[in-house]
């Protein structure tokens, strides 16, 4: 079984904005980025699971195969911080979160442990379907959570892994053994 973790293309948002589950529009470079992603696939995908946010679902639908949207593949919820400029969020609150982001979420948001729990739950369901070649179009947080699970890597250590916009990470599953073929192919 081959699993392709595909990060969405560049969103249309300022770099200093905190966002996670906000449904952002895509940058004008979408068509070129999507074309670049499609060129990386030698064989067509059998099925795609996608975050329902349009920065993922538009890319997923461009593959012209069956797409199942799944809310558990959404990015981390930043709660009350969503769409605020980082500089406008209380610095003590940001500092406290940065020290404990694995176990503590922003106000009315979620922690990375909570994200990992929901993402691994859907990932186990995806692999139980045993399709030959499955795409998962999602965000950096869920991709890191899946890699944490597959590699048995502490979640905090996954932040050393680059997951660029439009990148592909390939995981193979053979006889219940995972192997990571590549990470962050752009």
What percent of the chain has a predicted confidence (pLDDT) above 70? 100
Give the span between the Cα atoms of 44 and 139, in whole angstroms.
Answer: 21
For 135-184, write each residue's pLDDT tens digit: 999 999 999 999 999 999 999 999 999 999 999 999 999 999 999 999 99
* pTM, rounded to two decimals: 0.97
For 110-141, write each residue's pLDDT tens digit: 999 999 999 999 999 999 999 999 999 999 99
Task: Report all structural domains of the chain as residue ranges with CATH numbers, in order of start.
Answer: 2-185 (3.40.50.1240)
Give the span between the Cα atoms of 104 and 98, in whole angstroms.
Answer: 9
What percent of the chain has a predicted confidence (pLDDT) above 90? 99
Give the span between the Cα atoms of 115 and 133, in whole angstroms.
Answer: 24
């Amino acid at each position: 079984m081959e699993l392709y973790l595909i990060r969405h293309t560049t969103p249309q948002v300022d770099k200093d904005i905190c966002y996670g589950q906000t449904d952002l529009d895509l940058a004008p470079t979408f068509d070129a980025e999507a074309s670049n992603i499609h060129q990386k696939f030698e064989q067509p995908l059998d099925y795609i699971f996608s975050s329902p946010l349009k920065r993922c679902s538009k890319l997923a639908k461009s593959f012209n195969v069956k797409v199942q949207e799944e809310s558990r593949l959404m990015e981390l919820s930043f709660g009350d911080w969503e769409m605020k400029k980082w500089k406008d969020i209380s610095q003590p609150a940001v500092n406290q979160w940065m020290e404990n982001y694995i176990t503590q979420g922003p106000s009315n948001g979620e922690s990375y442990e909570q994200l990992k729990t929901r993402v691994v739950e859907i990932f186990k369901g995806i692999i139980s379907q045993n399709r030959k070649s499955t795409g998962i179009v999602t965000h950096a947080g869920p991709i890191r959570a899946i890699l944490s699970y597959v590699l048995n890597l502490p979640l905090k250590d996954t932040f050393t892994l680059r997951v660029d916009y439009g990148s592909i990470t390939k995981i193979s599953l053979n006889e219940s053994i995972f192997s990571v073929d590549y990470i962050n192919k752009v």
